[in-house]
Amino acid sequence: MNLINTGKLDMALLSISSEKPRLFEKGEEMFWDDEHISKGMLEAHLKKEIYSDFTGKEYTDNSESIAIIAENNG
């Protein structure tokens, strides 16, 4: 989605993109494939400071398990 078209802000597209979706409405197909989204989600799950602040739970270091999974699936 490109909100800037020919150097101008596309107000119609901005209006549509800022609407709140209906409950359980199907979203964007490739949401998790977006580089920014996937990177942020990975950091939120793996960084001790972010995880603990977000969930209020104690952080468990899973780096060894993650390395084993990556080694066996890569």
Q: Any idea where the domains of the chain sit in the sequence?
A: 30-74
Q: What is the CA radius of gyration of the chain?
A: 18
pTM to 2 decimals?
A: 0.31
Q: What local confidence, expressed as pLDDT, does residue 38 receive?
A: 82
Q: Rounded to 5 degrees, what are φ and ψ at 28?
A: -65, 130
How large is the greatest C-alpha to C-alpha distance in the chain, in angstroms? 49
pLDDT by residue (tens digit) across 6-61? 777 778 877 877 777 778 777 777 777 888 888 887 777 677 666 555 666 666 77
Q: What local confidence, expressed as pLDDT, does residue 17 receive?
A: 74
Q: Which residues does 1 contact at the CB level (< 8 Å), separation at least 6?
A: 13, 17
